[in-house]
Amino acid sequence: MSEDEFVNNIRVSRIEEFLKKAETEPSVGRKELSLKVEWSQRRGYPQIRCYAPTEKSVGLMLESELPIDLGGEATRPAPFQYFLFGLAASYLSIFMILASRKGIKFGKASLKIKSDIDYLSILKVDEEVEGLGEMEMELNVESEASDEDLLKLLEEAKNRCPVFSPIKVKVMLKRAE
């Protein structure tokens, strides 16, 4: 594999360089991610927005709106859709990284994710309703790799994907100044 070879649109040499650096400096492996999500009180504007910086470019303004049944105007993707996107994008990225490092190439790869959400779990605190249903993901690939290799990759990606680990959340209150 040449130094600048891309496999599945991933520059594998960068991953290998990063791993070498992490051997001598393990602290480089942990990166802090931080976003500030703001609620807008202005009618006619998306209710939720967040600037998401990137490592190299200007970044992106993410906007979200509650579904109509939850009091929003539904002019932007709902927060729950971003949640599903984050899960799917994280999993698909891990899958592609692992495959690329093993030299497994794909002509196409897509992931379909679906779940249901019970809005009553949000609105009716007196009832015990499961909010988010079981999620299903279906990976569709075009590859010469064997089913056995792909199934092993599916499971390895699931085990390594950080968003599937139990989430530890600490919530704090800070008064506006």
With the CA atoms of 151, 156, 162 and 167 taken in that order, what torsion angle do they form, in degrees rounded to the nearest 10? 80
Average pLDDT for 25-47:
94
In a domain, 64, yes or no: yes
Closest Cα to residue 92, out of 35, 2, 19, 164?
A: 164
Question: What backbone torsions phi and psi does residue 173 show, to the nearest 5 degrees?
Answer: -110, 135
Tens-digit pLDDT profile for residues 53-106: 999 888 999 999 999 999 999 999 999 999 999 999 999 999 999 999 999 999
Domain extent, residue 156, equals 78-177
Among 77, 103, 138, the domain boundary falls at: 77
The count of structural domains within the chain is 2
Report how far residue 119's alpha carbon sits from residue 121's, in angstroms, rounded to the nearest whole number.
Answer: 5
pLDDT attached to residue 3: 52
Among 42, 77, 112, the domain boundary falls at: 77
Cα of 43 vs its chain's centroid, Å: 29
Instruction: For residues 67 and 82, state if they share a domain.
Output: no
- The chain-wide mean pLDDT, for the chain, equals 91
In a domain, 110, yes or no: yes
Average pLDDT for 156-172:
86
pLDDT attached to residue 132: 84
Instruction: For residues 174 and 91, state if they share a domain.
Output: yes
**pLDDT over threshold 60, residue 2:** no
Average pLDDT for 111-131:
84
More confident residue, 30 or 125: 30
Instruction: For residues 138 and 91, state if they share a domain.
Output: yes
Among 42, 61, 77, the domain boundary falls at: 77
In a domain, 68, yes or no: yes
Instruction: For residues 97 and 42, state if they share a domain.
Output: no
* 109, burial (CB in 10 Å: exposed 0-12, middle 13-18, buried 19+): middle
Instruction: For residues 86 and 47, state if they share a domain.
Output: no
**pLDDT over threshold 90, residue 126:** no
Q: How confident is the model at residue 120 (pLDDT cuts 50, 70, 90)?
A: confident
Instruction: For residues 45 and 109, state if they share a domain.
Output: no
Instruction: For residues 70 and 85, state if they share a domain.
Output: no
Asked whether 163 and 91 are in contact (CB, 8 A), the reply is yes
Instruction: For residues 101 and 46, state if they share a domain.
Output: no
- Residue 34 half-sphere exposure toward CB, CA atoms < 13 A: 2
